[in-house]
Amino acid sequence: MVKNSQPKMLIVLLQILLLSVIQSCSAAGGVAIYWGQNGNEGTLSETCATGKYAYVNIAFLNNFGNGQTPELNLAGHCNPASNGCQGISTGIRDCQKRGIKVMLSLGGGIGNYSLASRADAKGVAEYLWNNFLGGKSSSRPLGDAVFDGIDFDIEASTLYWEDLARYLSAYCKRGRRKVYLTAAPQCPFPDRNLGNALNTGLFDYVWIQFYNNPPCQYSSGSGDINSLVSSWNRWTTSIKAGKIFLGLPAAPQAAGSGYVPPDVLTSQILPLIKKSPKYGGVMLWSRYWDLQNGYTSSIQKSV
């Protein structure tokens, strides 16, 4: 009697197909972008409508902590001091309807921010919760939309950021909406400002700045990728985080150094770093420079 082997072959083919889908999904990443520091980069809604980005960091809340009144700086987009930024809520909701996570970014390279104590960290966490996250306040600077989380782009202070991370994360544990925590450390390991915060293991996404740091970035002069890849490997094997992203300038003018030509990124660097199970994608500074240079369009299919 001849047995029909077709069902068995079909099962094998389905298993192979399923495995290939799992592998392709595990290697797939997204692009994170910083928006808010140039009035000529288009609106938040326009940015998300491009379909290019999975994450948007609104930059920056750059004055806060140590007893001072928190202040936003959104460059030429609007003036928070005169309540002129409430309309940003429409953009936030537009992005979220497309499945894009929107974070408020703290810090940046220019500003006056620091935490004086654990109590100060707790006060800043409460301010963020009530004014930008799931809490309530009569003075929400960007309107009533609820951010998905908080991004730590801390470049000027070293203390109590781990406490701020813990206080923000604790809101989830009270049965409230999850607060995503993200961070943008510099590539020298460990990061001087955020090392302790990252050691908490509370961060969902970490987009490492592989630029303006010659010891651990791409060398445009020699075309050497080894320093960057070596640093990437150290980060991905040393910190506990949900996903880790390769942070790059979106154009040569976007940073002092570290720009990676799109063809070098897609043909040489991404094939190596995507081997890490922690690979999450690419972060770019910034939407304005991406608009000028078309960087995401050049790399998107490979990310």
Which are the catalytic amino acids?
A: 155
- CA–CA gap between residue 176 and residue 56 (Å, rounded): 22
Secondary structure string (H, E, C) spanning 135-191:
CCCCCCCCCCCCCCEEEEEECCCCCCHHHHHHHHHHHHHCCCCCCEEEECCECCCCC
Residue 53 CA, distance from chain mean position: 11
Tokens (6 digits) for 87:
């309309």
Q: Which of 128, 132, 151, 96 is nearest to 285 (CA)?
A: 151
Q: Is the N-terminal amide bond of 190 cis, ω within 30° of 0?
A: yes
Residue 89 CA, distance from chain mean position: 19
Tokens (6 digits) for 244:
């880790």
